[in-house]
Amino acid sequence: EAQVTQNPRYLITVTGKKLTVTCSQNMNHEYMSWYRQDPGLGLRQIYYSMNVEVTDKGDVPEGYKVSRKEKRNFPLILESPSPNQTSLYFCASRLSRDSPLHFGNGTRLTVT
Amino acid sequence: RKEVEQDPGPFNVPEGATVAFNCTYSNSASQSFFWYRQDCRKEPKLLMSVYSSGNEDGRFTAQLNRASQYISLLIRDSKLSDSATYLCVTPSGGGSYIPTFGRGTSLIVHP
């Protein structure tokens, strides 16, 4: 089954404790991206990647890192999480720039 | 930057009603558009692609008006299960690789 898989689904952590949210897709998509969704603000792109070893900042990259060492994986790294990063996070992939996005089922992160 | 705008609603309609949402976009270079459905705290799911000629899938019809720069979604014979938030998206605008999402329109279908 074609899908985007994120883990974990739920994560509660404390300020400053490094964490990684994993994202994997099995559709051989070139493009992958990370979003956060907050009430009243909609979906905002954090980082995106157009191919292996090619990443770029989205609209809200501060406090996040990504890597794209393999085509299928695109982890999101929070080196020192803060409470303002409490949010619902989605990973997405797409075949090309004008293709529809396929979303993972989300990671709900709480930073206390 | 508000490149894609939607009326947040909520649209409160009875079962069986026909309801329409519009979404306006500002980047005339945008080539493709999509409607997504999002249930509370779940991932957005692709509902329809929007083509210049219009696109119909069962009770759902999507249309694109390039001259006025808006896309529309029409839902006929609304079901309770249609209650959700509907997002319009343009994956790219000109040279940009950053998709632009509307903030969504909330639909509540009641008995």
- CA-nearest of A44, A38, A32 to A4 is A32
**Tokens representing B48?**
């329809």
pLDDT digits (tens, 9 = 90+) for A14-58: 999 999 999 999 999 999 999 999 988 889 999 999 999 999 999
C-alpha span between B34 and B82 (Å, rounded): 17
A51 touches chain B (CB under 8 A): no
Name the residue in chain B with its Cα closest to that of A31: B97
Determine the Cα–Cα distance for residues B78 and A27; give it in Å rounded to an integer: 33
For residue B67, give both structure tokens.
């001259």
Summarised one tens digit per residue, pLDDT across range B36-76 is 999 998 999 999 998 777 899 999 999 999 889 999 999 99
Mean pLDDT of A62-85: 97
pLDDT of residue A103: 97
**8 A C-beta contact, residue B77 and residue B59:** yes
C-alpha distance from B34 to closest chain A C-alpha (Å) = 7
Using pLDDT thresholds of 50, 70 and 90, give the confidence band for residue B99.
Answer: confident
The pLDDT value given to residue A72:
97
C-alpha distances in Å from residue B55, one per residue of A73, A104, B16, B49? 33, 26, 21, 7
Q: Residue A71 pLDDT > 60, yes or no?
A: yes
Q: Which of A42, A59, A104 sits opposite B43 (nearest CB)?
A: A104
Q: For residue A98, give the nearest of B44, B45, B91 by CB distance.
A: B91
Q: Decide if B45 and A101 are in contact by the 8 Å CB cutoff.
A: no
How far, in Å, CA of B98 to CA of B80, rounded? 33
Q: Residue B51: its pLDDT value, please? A: 75
- Nearest CA of chain B to the CA of A106: how many Å? 6
Q: Which residue has the tokens 């209650």?
A: B83
* Residue pair A90/A81 in contact by the 8 Å Cβ criterion: no
**Greater pLDDT, A74 or B69:** A74
The whole-angstrom separation of Cα B86 and Cα B84 is: 6
Contact yes or no for B84/B11 (Cβ under 8 A): no
